[in-house]
Amino acid sequence: MGRAATTAVGAVVLAAIAGVWHTGLLEPYYHAILHGNAPDATFYEVLRVAPTASPSEIAAAYRSLSREYHPDKTKSLSPAMRDAHTQAFYRVAAAYETLSNDDRRRDYDRQLHQVAKPPSMTWQSRVHLWWWQLWYSLSFESIGYVVCGLGLVTILCEYVLAPIQQRVFRSRHPPSNPDVQQPGTSLYEARLRLQAQYDADAQRRSQHRRATRVR
């Protein structure tokens, strides 16, 4: 497969990925993972606060997330994303209802401590957390547009800019061999002409030596 065909296939694949992403089929799944709303997420993860967060921090997180996931704020999203945001809105409300009350929070923390203590964060976990924060800062629709844009840029560079650059380079740096500049000539034909010229020169030198001997 040539370079042009490989580039075309890659661009089609990128466009297909962007199309699937833009349809919203996978959005709820990734939204739940990246926004701390996975089924096994704790209330602290749902509110995106540390287990040692103060009541004021919990209240501030609740206000911010409730505004973000409120149904009035998600009317412009796809149906799948609206459902995901609605579920997240209810989970945020449930998490705040538990963590905002000291007694309920104490009981909830006791239940969490009964679960096996998670291992300490390794450098792999820190890298994963960094990527999680990067993905969280991007919206799914913008990622789809970026992927589609990369495919279009690839096609533009391969089929528009590259041929123009080649023409400009050839016009500024023409071949030094005049035989190559002639239309329709090839390297094989140039070699034949050079060989014929060499044979003619050798024949003239041989005739010159014979004439010298006769004298």
Q: Identify the weakest region by mean pLDDT among 22-26, 66-70, 125-129, 187-191.
A: 22-26
Q: Helices 3-23 and 140-156, interaxial angle, to 10°?
A: 160
Mean pLDDT of the chain: 73
The pLDDT tens digits for 112-158 are: 888 655 555 565 666 666 666 556 555 555 666 677 777 778 877 77
Q: Residue for token digits 């094989």?
A: 188
Q: Residue for token digits 């501030």?
A: 60
As a dihedral over the C-alpha atoms of residue 44, residue 143, residue 27, residue 36, rounded to 10 degrees, the angle is -10
CA 191: distance to chain centroid?
Answer: 48
Q: In whole angstroms, what is the distance from residue 94 CA to residue 45 CA?
A: 12
Homologous superfamily, domain 3-152: DnaJ domain (1.10.287.110)
Q: What angle do CA 98, 125, 47 make, to 5 degrees?
A: 20
Please report, as a single letter, which amino acid is at residue 109: D
DSSP state of 26: S
pLDDT band at residue 192 using 50, 70 and 90 as cut-offs: confident
Q: In whole angstroms, what is the distance from residue 39 CA to residue 92 CA?
A: 13
DSSP state of 161: I
DSSP state of 159: I
Measured between alpha carbons, how far is residue 55 from residues 20, 46, 110 in Å? Answer: 41, 15, 18
In this prediction, residue 104 carries a pLDDT of 94
Q: In whole angstroms, what is the distance from residue 24 CA to residue 37 CA?
A: 17
